[in-house]
């Protein structure tokens, strides 16, 4: 390491290094707060003025991160800004921005590339750049390293470059940011050494791997494993439904086996920013090597089909009650992609709403965690969450339990609804409850 990197290592080891977090969302903001909690100075960067303004006012836009935690972090010196020129003040620059798919279901690295391009004019020797965004194997060395080198920065010589994928699990009370083992690798051994040094301040366990490509593939395998198994159990649900078998009872029985079985649960489709998206990052990259990832793509097809399956179940249920989808008032219960959180990214509920509306239904939603329908790139609903009362429930022709929040009063729903389509296996078996 040259003098700039030796100086960086000294600042990191002494706890005086400044961390810059780019993207103050569901990944970046918890990480920023964690660094603050251990006494590390943090500058948070985001292109969204409303997020920066909220944080600087001591407010939180993520339900599980309380305003008190925000205020405490800022009392310890955290700052939030849209001014990327302040990147030169940071020693470790950690990128936590989205990696979505484009309209052709191909990787969209624009958020990562645009962030790095915004950083580069202010990048200096002796800084560490870490990418946490999920992406295809090769991104760090094929996309980030050449951009640094074009500006005169060589990883391992006068700067450090690492990849350390995020492993946040919103709504999981047992694992916070610091509890979850963190995979990390660097472009060179010295890059890895510096990456470990900064992250070990905030993360309890670090798992080092031999290359950034290995780290990138590790994150994809984690999420593909879940996507494939959820696709399997969703297909099993369809088969079981046709056979008149309760798939949830089957899963509960199978889960009593103490070895060789892991319980995955079916639902209305996949949600969140990882599982519906990440598999396609590998399928896209695999084509470069002449490989067709049929197994992964088949699971994706099944999971993508599930909202359509739910809508068909709603149509059949309404038909049995002498009604059509067109003109029916339908209430979706749960906008978040999983229970007890306020995150609706890629939520299958939204696609179900769009499909029902396209068939002429009047749709509403109820979600105590999401009071107003958020802005989305592809879907536009000017709606507020409906408060569940005996009268409001009874005013709908059909309810769809899409996300089984613990805060729902299931007894009230079961007693007052004319018809409920249950996609989560949460409700009692009775005449007005239809499994989907």
What gap in Å lies between CA 324 and CA 186, rounded to an integer?
Answer: 58
Note whether 27 and 98 are within 8 A (CB).
Answer: no
> What contacts 227, CB < 8 A, 6 or more positions away?
270, 275, 276, 278, 279, 296, 299, 300, 303
Structure tokens at 329: 């008032």
Strand partners, 163: 131, 185
What gap in Å lies between CA 252 and CA 406, rounded to an integer?
Answer: 19
CA-to-CA dists, residue 163 to 2, 65, 96, 144, 331, angstroms: 21, 25, 11, 10, 43
Instruction: State the DSSP H helix or E strand holding residue 404, giving kind and residue range, or none if neither.
Output: none
DSSP string for 85-114: GGGGG-SEEEE-----B-TTS-B--HHHHH
> Would you call 274 a catalytic residue per the annotation?
yes
What gap in Å lies between CA 325 and CA 328, rounded to an integer?
Answer: 5
Note whether 365 and 373 are within 8 A (CB).
Answer: yes
Structure tokens at 86: 């302040």
The total of other beta-carbon atoms located within 10 Å of residue 262's CB is 9
Strand partners, 20: 43, 93
Q: Do the bridges between strand 206-208 and strand 18-22 make them parallel or antiparallel, or are there none, so unpaired?
A: unpaired
DSSP string for 259-280: SS-------SS--SSSTTTHHH
Strand arrangement, sheet containing 160-163: 79-81, 41-45, 18-22, 92-95, 128-131, 160-163, 182-186, 206-208
Among 36, 159, 191, 274, the active-site one is: 274
Instruction: Spell out where 1-40 has E strands.
Output: 18-22
Which residue matches tokens 């309760």?
A: 246
> What contacts 228, CB < 8 A, 6 or more positions away?
279, 295, 296, 299
Reduced to 3 states (helix: H, G, I; strand: E, B; else coil), residue 257 is coil
Note whether 40 and 194 are within 8 A (CB).
Answer: no
Residues annotated as catalytic are: 274
């Amino acid at each position: 390491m040259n003098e700039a990197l030796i100086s960086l290592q000294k600042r990191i080891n002494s706890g005086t290094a400044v961390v810059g977090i780019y993207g103050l969302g569901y990944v970046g903001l918890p990480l920023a707060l964690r660094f603050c909690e251990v006494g590390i100075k943090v500058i948070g960067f985001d292109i969204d003025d409303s997020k920066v303004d909220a944080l600087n006012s001591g407010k939180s836009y993520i339900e599980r991160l309380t305003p008190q935690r925000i205020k405490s972090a800022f009392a310890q010196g955290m700052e939030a800004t849209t001014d990327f020129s302040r990147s030169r003040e940071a020693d470790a620059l950690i990128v936590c921005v989205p990696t979505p798919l484009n309209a052709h279901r191909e990787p969209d690295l624009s958020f990562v590339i645009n962030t790095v391009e915004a950083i580069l004019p202010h990048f200096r020797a002796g800084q560490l750049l870490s990418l946490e965004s999920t992406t295809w194997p090769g991104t760090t060395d094929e996309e980030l390293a050449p951009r640094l080198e074009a500006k005169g920065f060589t990883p391992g010589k006068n700067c450090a470059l690492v990849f350390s994928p995020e492993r946040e699990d919103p709504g999981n009370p047992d694992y916070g940011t610091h509890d979850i083992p963190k995979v990390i690798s660097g472009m060179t051994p010295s890059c890895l050494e510096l990456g470990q040094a900064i992250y070990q301040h905030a993360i309890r366990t670090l798992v080092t791997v031999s290359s950034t490509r290995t780290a990138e593939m590790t994150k994809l395998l984690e999420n593909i494993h879940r996507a494939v198994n959820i696709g399997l159990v969703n297909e099993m649900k369809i088969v079981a439904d046709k056979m008149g078998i309760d798939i949830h009872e089957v899963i509960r029985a199978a889960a009593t086996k103490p070895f060789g079985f892991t319980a995955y649960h079916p639902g209305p489709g996949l949600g969140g920013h990882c599982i519906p998206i990440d598999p396609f990052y590998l399928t896209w990259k695999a084509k470069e090597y002449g490989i067709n990832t049929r197994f992964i793509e088949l699971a994706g097809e099944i999971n993508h089909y599930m909202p359509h399956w739910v809508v068909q179940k709603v149509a059949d249920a309404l038909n049995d009650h002498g009604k059509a989808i067109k003109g029916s008032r339908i209430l979706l219960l749960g906008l978040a992609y999983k229970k007890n959180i306020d995150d609706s990214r890629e939520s299958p509920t939204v696609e179900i709403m769009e499909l029902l509306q396209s068939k002429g239904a009047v749709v509403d939603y109820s979600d105590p965690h999401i009071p107003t329908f958020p802005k989305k790139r592809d879907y536009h609903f000017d709606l507020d969450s409906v408060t569940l009362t005996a009268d409001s429930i009874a005013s709908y022709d059909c309810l769809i339990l899409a996300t089984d929040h613990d805060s729902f009063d299931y007894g009230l729903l079961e007693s007052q609804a004319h018809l409920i389509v249950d996609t989560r296996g949460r409700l009692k078996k009775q005449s007005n409850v239809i499994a989907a």
